[in-house]
Amino acid sequence: MSQSKPEERLALELSCAICLQLYRDPVALPCGHNYCLGCIQKAASAEDPKSPKRCPECREEYGSLETLPKNFKLSSIVDGFLVATTGGGLRGGPTVPCDQCLDNPLYLCVQERLFLCSDCLMEGSHQHHEVQTFEVAKEEMKRVLEELGKSVSDKLQITEALVKSASEGPTDKAEDKLVARANILLDNMTFRMSTVMNDELHSRDKSWQANLCDLEGCLHQLQEAQKCTGEVLSQSSEFLFIQNYLNVEARVRQAANVTIPALPSQESSHAKQLCSILRTDAFRAEMSLLLEYLHGMMNPLDLTFNPATAHSSLLLSSDLKTVKQCAGVKSSTTGDQSERFSTATQVMCTQGFSTGVHMWAVEVGPGCMWSLGLCYKNIPRKGDHSRLGHNTSSWRLQWKSKKLTACYDSANVAIGEGLVMPPKKVEVTLDYEGGTIAFHSSGQGGRRQHLHTFSAMFKDTVYPAFAIHSTSEESWITLLSGV
């Protein structure tokens, strides 16, 4: 019977003569006829096992089923036809037969990954298995494949960056690595370090090349998995999507769980240059500054609040380590009021610094709105311009109204974009000669996150200063004796 539409005529040409459905995993017989792999296997099993296997159409003999070659070209044509016709088969029905009876399938057995019709579903062991309709199976498979695809994509980006870095070779970070590895006895170490570094460089280059090969293999695997994922997700045919998913899922899952090889630690590849740097006065000066900085980190200051500077609504603890604001409460401190802040609810520390590197830390209450920073002793004590950061005599970091900002000379800068919760512990590092004030938040396990760094040319003694902008019970600031 002639077909009225071109797609129907093409569908007939692309249909298996046994199941009358579009080819699924087609194989070619020596005689030139093609059949679905499952169909020819079922046809062969129905014949006398002692008789030679013959083509169902022309009856020409052929050898073992295992030797039948897959017709990749025909399979590709069928896949293209399915995409072009959005999943329509010869009669607009399913494009794959039931794996047990060649009838139209409606379900997928999850345990055995078989397509089943309603009758086969109720027979045998399948009725005790997890079974899904094609629609449900496709949605579940799509979700899994998208999650795996995201993992593959993330690892692919990391691997591509590592391969690029490895291809360019080790980068030179001489000063950073020298500071980490050198010690005070540089005169006695120079020759020994030269020998050791040359040996290490040779060993590192060999390790670098080996890791590059591993990374390129990992990159190829991830690229293939990403390509497979994209092809499956682009299928418009429900049945073809499920079929292809079953074919690639294991490969994509393996790629999603692959461990990306790490590159060796990057060190400078100029041994002679490094040895010459070790002998310079500039390097010795940098080492001295580093030791001073490390000393500041390992020995944080023991600061105390200066009661004479505290705003009248601020209450200080007896050890002068904690401050909180209480509305309506006035400080009982009497005497000279010239140092006291009368407008902004602020307080300075007793200790000041005019040289060196220093570090201190504070803990803030969970409901506190606060400002932390530094100021000169001549900072105004009253008026709006007496607030920290709103003059040329102070620098401050502030958490207020769920926003983290930095300010100097009334110029506000928003920082910490996306920060939902305020830092609970803040570390402040002052490098007087270097002209920097750095703020870091400190979390569990000693993890530090950089918040902001001011650059300045200090002209006088600077004092740690603080402000509280809220009056709740959880609004307090405590100076810590150790980090």
Q: What is the pLDDT of residue 97?
A: 65
Residue 164 CA, distance from chain mean position: 19
Over range 120-145, report the average pLDDT: 73
- Residue 176: pLDDT band with limits 50, 70, 90: very low
Determine the angle formed by the axes of helices 271-278 and 174-181, rounding to 10 degrees: 60
**Residue 417, both tokens:** 């974009």
CA distance 315 to 330: 8
Phi/psi for 119 (5° steps) reads -70, -45
Contact 377, 460 (CB under 8 A): yes
Q: Which helix (H) or strand (E) holds 183?
A: none
The lowest-confidence range among 199-213, 273-287, 307-321, 367-381 is 273-287
pLDDT at 189 over 60: no
Mean pLDDT (whole number) for 431-435: 90
Rounded mean pLDDT, 205-228 = 79
pTM score, two decimals? 0.43
pLDDT of 258-290, one tens digit each? 787 776 655 444 555 555 655 666 666 666 656
Is pLDDT of 196 > 60?
no
3-state secondary structure 332-390: CCCCCCCCCCCCCCEEEECCCECCCEEEEEEEECCCCCEEEEEEECCCCCCCHHHCCCC
Burial of 94 (0-12, 13-18, 19+ CB in 10 A): buried
Give kind and range of the element (H or E) at residue 126.
Answer: none
CB count within 10 Å of CB 51 equals: 8
pLDDT at site 423: 86
How confident is the model at residue 76, as a pLDDT?
Answer: 76
Per-residue pLDDT, averaged over 96-125, amounts to 70
Domains of the chain: 1-95 (3.30.40.10), 136-279 (no CATH), 300-331+339-480 (2.60.120.920)
C-alpha span between 174 and 197 (Å, rounded)? 12
As a whole number of angstroms, the distance between CA 6 and CA 11 comes to 8
pLDDT of 434 above 50: yes
What does the alpha-carbon distance between residue 366 and residue 422 come to, in Å, rounded to a whole number?
8
Cβ atoms of 364 and 370 closer than 8 Å: yes
